[in-house]
Amino acid sequence: MGDALEGVLLVAFDLDGTLIDSVPDLAAAVDAALIDVELAPAGEARVRDWVGNGAWVLLERALTDALGEAPSEVLLKTAHERFLEHYHRRPCDRTRLYPGVTETLKRLFGRGLILCLVTNKPEAFIHPILEHLGIDGFFSACLGGDTLPRRKPDPMPLRHLSQQFDVCPSYCLMVGDSRHDVAAGKAAGFRTVAVPYGYNHGEPISLSEPDLVVESLEQLV
């Protein structure tokens, strides 16, 4: 798999579904928020299919499922606020790294590659989770879904990193688990690598036509 990194100077990783399985904690916060607005909890299995577009969309999907129709703006705002409160209190009780992640990051970092994180998760949650899991020291920059005016699948976050570190997009790599990661990478001119084990709404990631699909991040090194 060495060809995937040939000439690469900067690697941008997605977080949820790529480096970490965060669904158990996300689902707990979603269910607590639904109960707060007097709706039935969704359960972890459903939440797993809704993750990937940020907290606002996650709650919109949960409310739509519970109500059988789109929620009002007021209800969505309330549920979103309650979700953030619950998740802020317990963001990583059951969140775990996928196998091989720490070793992969360690080896890429040791090669002198610039490692960055680009997630649609609100920025406030990123560093506490990375620190808890012991991988915060590997990343030169971390962008959340609310860091910039636009988020994935828009290429803005990736173009921002390319410009910040003065690296031509053709020497940059986007690694993710969803069609939004692949779309953002392609639009930014990055090479794209995808993993099949994450959160892609039940759709095979190969349908998004990344440059490469790897079963484990360890295959990158």
CATH number at residue 79: 1.10.150.240
The total number of structural domains in the chain stands at 2
Query: Is the same domain home to 112 and 16?
Result: yes
pLDDT of residue 10: 98
C-alpha closest to that of 29 among 83, 65, 98:
83
Residues 201, 212: Cα–Cα separation, whole Å: 19
Query: Is the same domain home to 130 and 215?
Result: yes
Query: Is the same domain home to 74 and 105?
Result: no
Query: Is the same domain home to 8 and 59?
Result: no
Q: Catalytic site residues?
A: 14
Bridge partners of residue 88, in order along the sequence: none
Phi, psi values for residue 175, rounded to 5°: -120, 120
Annotated binding site for Mg(2+): 14, 16, 177
pLDDT of residue 54: 85
Residue 153: asked if its preceding bond is cis (omega within 30°), the reply is yes
Residue 38: CB atoms within 10 A of its CB come to 7
pLDDT of residue 148: 98
Residue 91 DSSP class:
S
List the structure tokens of 151: 């988020």
SS3 call for 207? helix
Residues 90, 191: Cα–Cα separation, whole Å: 35
- The parts of the chain modelled with pLDDT lower than 70 are 1-2
Domain interval for residue 63: 23-89
Supply angle C-alpha 48, 12, 59, rounded to 5: 30
Residues 53, 120: Cα–Cα separation, whole Å: 6
pLDDT of residue 69: 98
Residue type, 172: C
Tell me the whole-structure pTM to 2 decimals.
0.93
Query: Is the same domain home to 57 and 110?
Result: no
pLDDT of residue 4: 81
Query: Is the same domain home to 79 and 166?
Result: no
User: Which residue matches tokens 């392609």?
Assistant: 186
Residue 51 DSSP class:
-
pLDDT of residue 36: 98
List the structure tokens of 33: 């928020």
Annotated binding site: 14, 16, 177
Residues 115, 109: Cα–Cα separation, whole Å: 7
Domain endpoint, select from 58, 89, 120: 89
Query: Is the same domain home to 110 and 52?
Result: no
Please check whether residue 117 is in contact with residue 141, taking contact to mean a CB–CB distance below 8 angstroms. yes
SS3 call for 110? helix
pLDDT of residue 115: 98
Query: Is the same domain home to 53 and 103?
Result: no
Beta carbons within 8 Å of 125's beta carbon, 6+ residues apart: 87, 88, 91, 144
**pLDDT tens digits for range 23-44:** 999 999 999 999 999 999 999 9
